Chains A and B, each alone.
Chain A
Amino acid sequence: MAIQFQHHPGLVVYLSAGDTGLTPRESHAGHAGGAVDLSLTREIALAAIDAGADVIEIGVPYSDPLGDGPVIQRASERALLRGTRLVDVLALAAELRAARPQAGLVIFSYLNPILRFGLPAFVDAAAAAGVDGVLLIDMIVEEAGEYLAEMKRVNLAPIFLAAPTSPEERLKAIVEHSQGFVYAISRTGITGQQKDVETGAAALVERLRRWTHWRGLPIAVGFGISNAEHVAQVGKFADAAVIGSAIVELIERSTEEQAPEAVSRFIRGLFTQGLHRQHEVQALEQREPASL
């Protein structure tokens, strides 16, 4: 197991662990204490992998998701209401690993739940679960000394975010400390959908390439990537696209019974339409290079 992108562009799918959407089954609605049933997240993750997702980012719900827009905020609130804990998310990761040995699995979290669990205990548990990497949205490279040492001890891949606002020396450090892939944020802002992939995303990826190139470290672009056209656009300059809020919102709108199939169909649509679109985009670009 390792993080590998089988397609171009590769696809990373973010799921808010423990969220059962707006219309949960009765047995999933409440918080009964003890282990929480994450079977829906598991079914959706498996469907996503089988539909072509290379990497699943398993989102740990958090009370104060200050980097997230309304869609993931709502999903986190629902997951927390159901009592979803980091320990449940780790158990889910182990189940996914057992079911899909080749899939890339990344824990996506804010720092505080990890600190409370205990950093050494967390990396041990994540490694034992078969997780490949960890992405902490509020951890920057300068504060990451012990985190990096712990991750290295158990051979887990730390993934850092790079922003359009990051100056060169920060990009260099972000790439230097990232493994698996580096996550390029498409625009300044929080997670959530947007109409177009901003031109700044390509510029950021180009700046990152200076540092990733010699290692062959892939670059995934995320934030606001929500449809086949976006994926195709990202494929023109990056190695992978991250889709989060669009799928979380799809799950929100779907019944539990429908959700895995809805997510599967959505992802398959990204690939078929995306490749088609990519062709069109290239044709368009030849006529009007400035329009992108």
Chain B
Amino acid sequence: MATMLSPDTQTQSKAGRFGAYGGRYVPETLMAALEELEHAYAEAKADAAFQAELDLLLKDFAGRPTPLYFAKRLTESLGGAKIYLKREDLLHTGAHKINNALGQGLLAKRMGKRRIIAETGAGQHGVATATVCALLGLECIVYMGEEDMRRQELNVLRMRLLGAEVRGVASGSKTLKDAVNEALRDWVTNVRNTYYILGSALGPHPYPTMVRDFNRIIGVEMRQQILGKEGRLPTAILACVGGGSNAIGAFHEFLSDLPGNDKVRLIGVEAGGRGKTLGDHAARFEGGVPGVLQGTYSYVLQDENGQVSLTHSVSAGLDYATVGPEHAALHDCGRAEYVSADDAHVMEAVVKLARTEGILPALESAHAVAECIRIAPNMPSHDILVINLSGRGDKDMGIIARELNIQGAQGH
């Protein structure tokens, strides 16, 4: 069991371990499917034709490569480090989630599975999955917590327009964790004909590895682009961490940079919510302890009896009780740093980015912007910060308008 394994490595060990973390803790019924998936993914990864098909879709359908944009006015306004934005928000469907959905959608088709299920929190993964299913002609069922359906209604409408069936989940806190439970219950029941497109670098092996691989392109492009513009690597990369797929996608290409002058700081930003009390946030590395949730061993927000805690965040996509196992390993070995941004600072970050750069970030991505706003002013001007701007904020306009008291047609 994982509890006694030493978290001594950032490289992946066998059976989907990242140091002590990861693994497979699932009902036996799913094991054959996970083994089949692991095998099929290994074959696809080695197949040049699969990669070529995916690359073409990423380019012509999703819009890769995404720009690395120098945020001049934000940089000047903060008066410290030079700030770049990796514009994943410009991708088709509005977030990095399409990278993974395209990869897994093609894999599902290759495996001959025509019934697709997915979970979604903010709805971005659900929209990406519904989009890919429309593109590939696959049946699509998306599980979404009722609370998330309420606060991300626009994405519910988008999924339905795209032909997906959105199934509301009323158990627990009616958010992402409960949607994953329900998706797993569906999968365990319909495992023989169903492919589960898990949306983050979470869950049982091989998902954390596979989802990370499909998002690695973010860091690969980022590295080339920053070397092209600056001739050197950034001082730090900032990314929000819910499950952690955009962050691990941005970080992974930089992990092996040796410590020393060239070492790129990797900073993951969790949801600080409305306070430090258990239940008021989703900062797993501040309030969590290692445990097993939804198939993987990682940091879990839980009470002293091992019951998983409720979480809170203004952003549905970060409102989740556990974190991808590779982040847990990177945390323990110190290669990446994890901090949190609270709801109030996130709202300030949304306004700041909107008004200095004309860019409306998703509430999730605004967590990374908030941390940038905190640290950039104290950094010298030759330092470089890259924010992985994982998604755009159109979906959040209702929440943002309410929080900031912005008036619509009825106002002034």
User: What residues of chain A have their CB less than 8 Å away from a CB belonging to chain B?
Assistant: 62-67, 69, 73, 80, 85-87, 110-117, 119, 137-140, 142-147, 160-167, 170, 174, 185, 188-190
Q: Is B29 at the interface (CB under 8 A from chain A)?
A: yes
Identify the interface centre among A63, A80, A162: most chain B CB within 10 Å of its CB: A63
B305 in contact with A85 (CB, 8 Å): yes
Query: Which of these, B35, B185, B302, contacts A112 with CB under 8 Å?
Result: B302
User: Given A115-B306, A144-B1 in contact, is the A163-B31 Cβ separation under 8 Å?
Assistant: yes
Instruction: Type the 1/0 row for B177-195, where 1 means its CB is closer than 8 Å to any CB of A.
Output: 1001100110011111000
Identify the interface centre among B2, B28, B32: most chain A CB within 10 Å of its CB: B28
Q: What would be 7 A-B contacts, judged by CB atoms less than 8 Å apart?
A: A62-B306, A112-B308, A116-B305, A138-B295, A140-B28, A162-B28, A165-B191
Q: Which of B19-27, B90-98, B246-254, B345-353 contacts A (4 or more CB under 8 A)?
A: B19-27
Mark out the residues of chain B between 287 and 329 whose CB falls within 8 Å of any chain A CB in the assembled complex. 289-295, 300, 302, 304-308
Query: Which of these, B23, B32, B180, contacts A166 with CB under 8 Å?
Result: B32
Instruction: Type the 1/0 row for B183-220, where 1 means its CB is closer than 8 Å to any CB of A.
Output: 01100111110000000000000000000000000000
B302 in contact with A146 (CB, 8 Å): no
CA distance A211 to B24 in the complex (A): 24
A119 in contact with B188 (CB, 8 Å): no
Q: Is B15 at the interface (CB under 8 A from chain A)?
A: yes
In the complex, what residues of B have CB within 8 A of residue A63's CB?
Answer: 172, 307-308
Query: In the assembled complex, how far is the CB of residue B185 from the closest CB belonging to chain A, in whole angstroms?
Result: 5
Query: In the assembled complex, how far is the CB of residue A59 from the closest CB belonging to chain B, in whole angstroms?
Result: 14
Quick one: closest A residue to B5, CB to CB? A146
Query: Which of these, A66, A80, A166, contacts B28 with CB under 8 Å?
Result: A166
In the complex, what residues of A have CB within 8 A of residue B277's CB?
Answer: none
User: What residues of chain B have their CB less than 8 Å away from a CB belonging to chain A?
Assistant: 1-4, 15, 23-33, 35, 171-172, 177, 180-181, 184-185, 188-192, 289-295, 300, 302, 304-308
B33 in contact with A165 (CB, 8 Å): yes
Query: In the assembled complex, how far is the CB of residue B366 from the closest CB belonging to chain A, in whole angstroms?
Result: 28
A163 in contact with B28 (CB, 8 Å): yes
B28 in contact with A115 (CB, 8 Å): no
B189 in contact with A64 (CB, 8 Å): no
Query: In the assembled complex, how far is the CB of residue B2 from the closest CB belonging to chain A, in whole angstroms?
Result: 7
CA distance A73 to B170 in the complex (A): 12
User: Given A143-B1, A190-B185 in contact, is the A112-B293 Cβ separation under 8 Å?
Assistant: yes
A73 in contact with B171 (CB, 8 Å): yes
Identify the interface centre among B171, B300, B305: most chain A CB within 10 Å of its CB: B305
A146 in contact with B306 (CB, 8 Å): no
CA distance A182 to B372 in the complex (A): 54
In the complex, what residues of B have CB within 8 A of residue A113's CB?
Answer: 305-307
Given contacts A188-B29, A188-B190, 14 further A-B pairs with CB under 8 A are A65-B181, A87-B305, A112-B292, A113-B305, A138-B27, A143-B2, A146-B1, A146-B3, A161-B27, A161-B28, A162-B28, A163-B27, A165-B32, A170-B31
CA distance A162 to B28 in the complex (A): 6
Query: In the assembled complex, how far is the CB of residue B325 from the closest CB belonging to chain A, in whole angstroms?
Result: 13
Quick one: closest A residue to B34, CB to CB? A140
Quick one: closest B residue to A113, CB to CB? B306
Query: In the assembled complex, how far is the CB of residue B170 from the closest CB belonging to chain A, in whole angstroms?
Result: 10
User: Given A62-B307, A73-B171 in contact, is the A163-B2 Cβ separation under 8 Å?
Assistant: no
B292 in contact with A138 (CB, 8 Å): yes
In the complex, what residues of A have CB within 8 A of residue B172's CB?
Answer: 63-64
Identify the interface centre among A73, A116, A145: most chain B CB within 10 Å of its CB: A116
Quick one: closest A residue to B35, CB to CB? A167
In the complex, what residues of B have CB within 8 A of residue A189's CB?
Answer: 29, 188-189
User: Given A66-B185, A165-B191, A190-B185 in contact, is the A112-B306 Cβ separation under 8 Å?
Assistant: yes
CA distance A153 to B273 in the complex (A): 44
CA distance A204 to B300 in the complex (A): 35
In the complex, what residues of B have CB within 8 A of residue A115's CB?
Answer: 1, 3, 290-292, 306
Quick one: closest B residue to A167, CB to CB? B32
In the complex, what residues of A have CB within 8 A of residue B292's CB?
Answer: 110-112, 115, 138
CA distance A181 to B172 in the complex (A): 33
Query: Which of these, B23, B188, B300, B304, contacts A67 with CB under 8 Å?
Result: B188
Query: Which of these, A69, A85, A145, contacts B1 with CB under 8 Å?
Result: A145
In the complex, what residues of A have CB within 8 A of residue B190's CB?
Answer: 188
Query: Which of these, A85, A111, A163, contacts B29 with CB under 8 Å?
Result: A163
CA distance A166 to B190 in the complex (A): 15
